[in-house]
Amino acid sequence: MDKPWLNNYPAGVPATIKYDQYSSIVQLLEESFQKYAHRAAFNSMGKNVTYGEVDELSRALGAYLQSVGLQPGDRVACMMPNVIQYPVSVAAILRAGFVVVNVNPLYTPRELEHQLKDSGAKAIVILENFGATLQQVLDKTPVKHVILAAMGDMLGFIKGSLVNYVVRKKKKLVPPFSLPTAVKFNDAIARGKPLALSPSKAKFEDPAVLQYTGGTTGVSKGATLLHRNIVANVLQSEAWMQPALTNPKKPKPPEQLTTVCALPLYHIFAFTVCFLLAVRTGGLVILIPNARDFPGTIKALKGFKIHMFPAVNTLYNALLNEPSFKELDVSDMRVANGGGMAVQKAVADKWLAATGCPIVEGYGLSETSPSATCNPTDTDAYSGTIGLPLPSTEIAIRDDDNNDVKQGEPGEICIRGPQVMAGYWQRPDETAKVFAPDGFFKTGDIGVMDERGYVKIVDRKKDMVLVSGFNVYPNEVEDVVASCPGVLECAVIGVPDEKSGEAVKVFIVKKDPALTEQQVRDYCEANLAGYKKPKYIVFRADLPKTPVGKILRRELRDMEKKAA
């Protein structure tokens, strides 16, 4: 196939990458643990841990997990925000030969139960703040081992005790729960220290991570990411950022780059770009537990010279509107990766003016580990596109019959490359739907490619709603709302939203005339993660349908556009 994008690669970026230089993510991690043992690896709430310490802690936790009888290939869930316990846990799970199941800490019991059952997770490492959620579903899942972390576990005795007191007693962020068989995080590490860690036998083509993504059938499904997929994407991303580091307009980069991790680590964007890419290069990662606390985020970043800042459009915009943002040291910022949702030109322009570093917009999905395309990192102009395919990546724009369309014409964006998932966990039928016979993954997004190889998204083939970078699938929200007492039927669409890019809007036909908006909101509060909850609720006498009774979401979207 023609690859016009290769002619427009920045100088120094290779057309392909040698992604088999590591046999697994484990080899990548252990190489950095040894190479950068004395460097600070992660900073959380003012506390640094070194690569050597992460090596020791994850080795002990991995040995403990092996000691409770877990077998190679078993799935272990990780349900935590951005605290040091997260990278320690992920490294432990992988080094022990298990598969990481990333879990959104904001999940409701219904959502958590589905993911634990679907993945077959036999153990979970969870922050105590979410213990009450786990308690409600634990006996309905295959989970047999619970490791319970507290916010202050990795902060030292004095600071850790103070943080735990504030979190539990002052802020009351730990609802009452009972998990009598749970083992405390630090106790698990202590039990594992005298034990020998049996080295992982995971191979390049073995599953490493189950990354759950919204389902068209109403439930989320796990994208099975192999060690190969994630290693390849780390190396692709590293190659792509080199022009920003060798930019002649900037001084020589420091020996250690500082990356801001305000994106949640359970999201594949942060997992690969903030966590593993930084570890591969021996960087320092500043962990932000709650990026929605914008003043707190800025406070946590003061005193650091920031070099890398991956984020979504809404976070960039919110920080720019904080008066204290100007107090941060952004004088040597090299890369600001914009992903998860469209970057707005106004935000990109304002960010460039404030930092001297352009936001380089990229594109990817959970199914692609995630990065598939990105704008050149040595640019200083907003392109309005999602950029060029990364090294070793092919992009095809195709029609419904799997034929390539003419250049400049719209079609479905299809991706082939080493970062593309093996398939959906235990769902061969769903996997078959998204792969073309020649191995291209069908994204469901409609785009055009220009003569230079730059891709622009113009529409969405599927009904997914994109809220602040998170996928929300209407079927899942509709399933929940439809089960609310008093609802006859409903339909969900996405509508433009100034803050989150899109917001969820639900149209409801009442079964019970007394049903109120607040009753629907309360029901959604109990059954849907925050970003999935409808922002707008509209009651209607009926819903537009096809002759066979299928609800026409597109007609509802068209009505919204006309009204706007």
Q: What CATH number should be reported for the domain holding residue 241?
A: 3.40.50.12780
Q: What CATH number should be reported for the domain holding residue 511?
A: 3.30.300.30
pTM: 0.89
pLDDT of 217 higher than 70: no
What's the gap between Cα 543 and its chain centre?
Answer: 34
Cβ atoms within 10 Å, residue 120: 17
Q: Does 438 lie in the same domain as 339?
A: yes
Q: pLDDT tens, 192-205?
A: 999 999 999 999 99
Q: Does 534 lie in the same domain as 396?
A: no
Q: Position of tokens 């036909």?
A: 509
Q: Does 90 lie in the same domain as 230?
A: no
Q: Does 279 lie in the same domain as 413?
A: yes
Query: Which residue from 265, 276, 262, 235 is spatially nearest to 317, judged by alpha carbons?
Result: 262
Asked which of 168, 202, 236 is the last residue of a domain, the reply is 202
Mark out the alpha helices in 255-391 (DSSP H runs).
268-269, 277-280, 294-301, 313-320, 345-355
For residue 248, cis peptide bond before it (omega within 30 degrees of 0): no
For residue 455, give the 3-state DSSP assignment: strand
Tell me if 332 is assigned to some domain: yes
Confidence band, pLDDT 50/70/90 cuts, at residue 182: very high
Tell me if 212 is assigned to some domain: no
Q: Does 178 lie in the same domain as 82?
A: yes
Mean local confidence (pLDDT), 471-500: 90
pLDDT of 257 higher than 60: yes
Confidence band, pLDDT 50/70/90 cuts, at residue 247: confident
Spatial separation of the C-alpha atoms in residues 532 and 178, rounded to whole Å: 28
Return the pLDDT at 173: 97
Q: What CATH number should be reported for the domain holding residue 165?
A: 3.40.50.980
Tell me if 140 is assigned to some domain: yes
Q: pLDDT tens, 403-425?
A: 999 999 999 999 999 999 999 99
pLDDT of 555 higher than 80: yes
Query: Which residue from 73, 65, 196, 83 is spatially nearest to 123, judged by alpha carbons?
Result: 65
Spatial separation of the C-alpha atoms in residues 562 and 564, rounded to whole Å: 5
pLDDT of 25 higher than 60: yes
Angle at 335 between CA 293 and CA 82, to 5 degrees: 35
Q: Does 431 lie in the same domain as 341?
A: yes
Asked which of 413, 443, 460 is the last residue of a domain, the reply is 460
Dihedral (Cα; 469, 471, 474, 479), 10-degree rounding:
-120
Query: How far is the CA of 338 from the CAs of 252, 321, 492, 537, in angstroms?
Result: 24, 17, 27, 31
Residue 361's domain spans which residues? 4-18+224-460
Return the pLDDT at 313: 86
Count up the domains in the chain and report the number.
3
Return the pLDDT at 218: 58
Q: Does 454 lie in the same domain as 520?
A: no
Return the pLDDT at 33: 98
For residue 110, give the 3-state DSSP assignment: helix
Return the pLDDT at 11: 93
| Tokens linked to 13 | 């970026």
Tell me if 208 is assigned to some domain: no
Tell me if 132 is assigned to some domain: yes
pLDDT of 186 higher than 80: yes
Confidence band, pLDDT 50/70/90 cuts, at residue 229: very high
Q: pLDDT tens, 35-83?
A: 999 999 999 999 999 999 999 999 999 999 999 999 999 999 999 999 9
Q: pLDDT tens, 285-311?
A: 999 999 989 999 999 999 999 999 999
Strands 221-226 and 207-213, by their bridges, are: antiparallel
Asked which of 433, 460, 487 is the last residue of a domain, the reply is 460
Q: Does 421 lie in the same domain as 359?
A: yes
Q: Does 540 lie in the same domain as 411?
A: no
Angle at 534 between CA 528 and CA 540, to 5 degrees: 125
Mean local confidence (pLDDT), 504-521: 96
Q: What is the 3-state secondary structure (H, E, C) of 37-57?
A: CCCEEEEECCEEEEHHHHHHH
Q: Does 198 lie in the same domain as 323?
A: no
Contacting residues for 456 by C-beta, under 8 A, at least 6 apart: 384, 385, 386, 447, 448, 449, 450
Mark out the alpha helices in 408-508 (DSSP H runs).
428-434, 474-482
Share of the chain above pLDDT 90, in %: 84
Average pLDDT, the chain: 94
Confidence band, pLDDT 50/70/90 cuts, at residue 485: very high
Share of the chain above pLDDT 70, in %: 98
Tell me if 487 is assigned to some domain: yes
Q: pLDDT tens, 314-336?
A: 899 899 999 999 999 999 999 99
Most distant CA pair in the chain: distance in Å?
68
Tell me if 217 is assigned to some domain: no
Is the distance from CB of 240 to CB of 13 less than 8 angstroms? yes
Q: Does 229 lie in the same domain as 168?
A: no
Higher pLDDT, 475 or 93: 93
Tell me if 144 is assigned to some domain: yes
For residue 403, give the 3-state DSSP assignment: coil
Which residue type is seen at 330? Answer: V
Q: Of how many residues is the chain composed?
A: 564
